Amino acid sequence: MKVPFIVVAGGLLALACTKPDTRTLPERTTSASGAMAPSGSAAGTGPSMGTSMHLAAEQGSSVAEKEITATIHQGILADEALKGTGQDVKVVTAGTKVTLLGPVNSGQAKLAIAAIATRTAGVTEVDNQLQIVN
């Protein structure tokens, strides 16, 4: 009588282990003081870490998405005009949409990086969130 119970219990355990985790955590932002606060609170103004962390979580994991991201990074690093500014650019690919994040040193660099992303095969939309810093 114990054997059927173990088989059933083992079957339920296997089923429980294969169920995808659909839980979500609340998005958080970091204030200038380093304190954590829920997204949308008064903890920070302007672009928040929560936004880029949320986008990073949306980075696709398919082979095609990884290839798009790698191709854009290679294009940025190969462009001599972008030396010294393109290394800090984060490329997030979700499907055929690419989001560009991070600092650049000029408007020209911002446009050049967006052009690299736009002409990359498989990209249908580019969200250019690069920020010009001096």
In the chain, domain spans: 20-47, 58-134
First to last CA, the chain: 75
- In CATH, what number does 58-134 get? 3.30.1340.30
- Is the pLDDT reported for residue 4 higher than 60? no
Per the document, the length of the chain is 134
In angstroms, the CA 71 to CA 77 distance is 10
Output the pLDDT for position 87. Answer: 87
- Is the pLDDT reported for residue 70 higher than 90? yes
Output the pLDDT for position 58. Answer: 77
Out of 3-12, 58-67, 76-85, which region has the weakest mean confidence (pLDDT)?
3-12
pTM: 0.59
